[in-house]
């Protein structure tokens, strides 16, 4: 499984999202990460369904929608129909997580579950065999530009082992929060295969170049495959 890079538009210029998306796609972005926040589950309010609809019209990369909201069950239909290809929901707010995962699958989107920094991997053990991906938060959700939590690297490895034990080796681990060229190789080595990056992409003034360089750094950390012996 190769690396997918998902630039987070949370750190982009909201007055020029179309240009931001085009730039990271030229740089090799595989996904566009969309952070939806409600000001309740997390202390920030960002964007909703209409922006996802607009992004769908301009993006060629699939939309990876992360719902940081208190009642995702109310909105998954709307985000799926707006154009999300992937939707991730937080285990911390869902008492019926199994039902929500399968409701997402029934909508034809990839179903992901999210773990906050203080939430242990064991919290998703009962759905580990059902999910399409797991998102590990490497910062506390709510705001861009935070520093990477170092322990997240070992947490990625724990989640990878959990998914493998559940017979779900094909489900990738996504990581979100403080990802840059310094720590990208570390999380890739631990098992992450989808890297979300915001500030590292958009704050330097050249998102196309930043996307290309971050993805290259991550790809270099992939375990090499030895050639078959003759």
35 among known catalytic residues: yes
What HEC string does the chain produce? CCCEEEEEHHHCCHHHHHHHHHHHHHCCCCCEEEEEEECCCCCCECCCHHHHHHHHHHCCCCEEEEEECCCHHHCHHHHHHHCEEEEEEEHHHCCCHHHHHHHHHHCCCEEEEEECCCCCHHHHHHHCCCCCEEEEECCCCCCCCCCCCCCHHHHHHHHHHHHHHCCCCCCCEEEECCCCCCCHHHHHHHCEEEEEECHHHHCCCCHHHHHHHHHHHHHHCCCCCCCCCC
Residues whose CB falls within 8 Å of the CB of residue 172, separated by 6 or more in sequence, listed in order: 1, 4, 133, 134, 192, 193, 194
Give yes or no for a contact between 96 and 65, defined as CB atoms under 8 angstroms apart. Answer: no
Given 71, 132, 176, 180, which residue is catalytic?
Answer: 176
Given 13, 30, 35, 73, which residue is catalytic?
Answer: 35
180 among known catalytic residues: no
Q: Which residues are catalytic?
A: 35, 176
């Amino acid at each position: 499984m190769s690396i997918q890079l998902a630039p987070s538009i949370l750190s982009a210029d909201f007055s020029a999202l179309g240009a931001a998306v085009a730039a990271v796609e030229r740089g090799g972005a595989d996904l566009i990460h969309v952070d939806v926040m409600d000001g309740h589950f997390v202390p920030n309010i960002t964007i909703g369904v209409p922006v996802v609809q607009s992004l769908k019209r301009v993006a060629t990369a699939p939309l990876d929608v992360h719902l940081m909201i208190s009642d995702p069950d109310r909105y998954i239909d709307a985000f799926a129909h707006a154009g999300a290809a992937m939707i991730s929901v937080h285990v911390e707010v869902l008492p019926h997580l199994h039902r929500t995962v399968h409701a997402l699958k029934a909508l034809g989107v990839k179903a992901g579950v999210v773990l906050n920094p203080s939430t242990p991997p064991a919290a998703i053990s009962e759905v580990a065999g059902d999910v399409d991906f797991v998102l590990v938060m490497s910062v506390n959700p709510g705001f861009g530009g935070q520093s990477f939590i170092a322990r997240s690297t070992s947490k990625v490895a724990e989640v990878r082992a959990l998914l493998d034990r559940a017979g779900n080796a094909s489900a990738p681990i996504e990581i979100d929060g403080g990802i840059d060229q310094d720590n990208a190789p570390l999380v890739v080595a631990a098992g992450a295969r989808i890297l979300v990056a915001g500030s590292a992409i958009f704050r330097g003034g050249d998102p196309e170049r930043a996307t290309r360089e971050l993805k290259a750094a991550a790809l270099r950390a992939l375990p090499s495959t030895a050639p078959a012996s003759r």
